[in-house]
């Protein structure tokens, strides 16, 4: 387990290199579980020490931990793009296009849940594609293929 954690920490420190599908899955799962566990612990202590409302506190704390883990998650996605022989800057273009779509479809006077659901499904499709699409089998400009576990 400690070897996995050391390997994880080494991989999220920089955007150089590639990341296989299986490692992307394991690292993303580990990061998600870390955020959930940390948020649950902090929320539990807040409930015990201060009597704060559990659900409201959990949503706030989990959102905070999510924002703190976002740079590491972005590094993982950039490395996954490198596995496709694509620049990490394309990931920035995808994020900007997503924000632009959200802004263009937002009706601030009457929010539309259908548009939000559609955009969430598009985001989910992008994540699934990044997770399942195989990388280039040969060495590319970002290095040799990484063998997953």
Q: Give residue 140's pLDDT.
A: 92
Structural domain contains residue 73: yes
Structural domain contains residue 143: no
Structural domain contains residue 70: yes
Structural domain contains residue 116: yes
Q: What is the pTM of this model?
A: 0.78
Q: Which residue range is the domain that position 52 belongs to?
A: 2-132
Q: CA neighbours within 13 Å on the CB side: how many for 144?
A: 3
Q: Which three-class secondary structure state does DSSP give residue 20?
A: coil
Q: Give residue 112's pLDDT.
A: 72
Structural domain contains residue 141: no
Structural contact between residues 132 and 80, judged by C-beta atoms closer than 8 angstroms: no
Task: State how far the Cα of 20 lies from the Cα of 15, in Å rounded to an integer.
Answer: 14
Q: Give residue 123's pLDDT.
A: 85
Token pair belonging to 136: 């280039």
Structural domain contains residue 29: yes
Token pair belonging to 137: 């089998």
Structural domain contains residue 43: yes
Please give the chain's pLDDT, 149 residues, in tens: 677 777 777 777 788 888 888 888 888 888 888 888 888 888 787 777 777 676 677 778 888 888 888 888 899 999 999 999 999 899 889 889 888 887 887 776 776 777 778 888 888 898 899 889 999 999 999 999 887 55
Four-residue CA torsion sign, 133, 138, 144, 149: positive
């Amino acid at each position: 387990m400690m070897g996995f954690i050391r390997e994880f920490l080494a991989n999220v420190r920089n955007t150089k290199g590639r990341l296989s599908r299986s490692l992307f899955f394991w690292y993303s799962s580990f990061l998600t579980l870390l955020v959930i566990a940390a948020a649950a612990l902090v929320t539990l202590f807040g409930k015990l020490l201060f009597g704060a409302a559990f659900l409201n506190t959990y949503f706030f704390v989990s959102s905070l931990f999510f924002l703190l883990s976002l740079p590491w998650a972005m590094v993982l996605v950039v490395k996954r793009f490198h596995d496709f022989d694509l620049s990490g800057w394309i990931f920035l273009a995808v994020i900007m296009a997503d924000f632009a779509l959200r802004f263009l479809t937002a009706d601030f006077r009457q929010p539309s849940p259908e548009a939000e659901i559609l955009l969430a499904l598009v985001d989910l499709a992008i994540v699934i594609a990044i997770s399942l699409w195989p990388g280039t089998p040969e060495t590319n400009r970002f290095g040799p293929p990484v063998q997953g576990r």
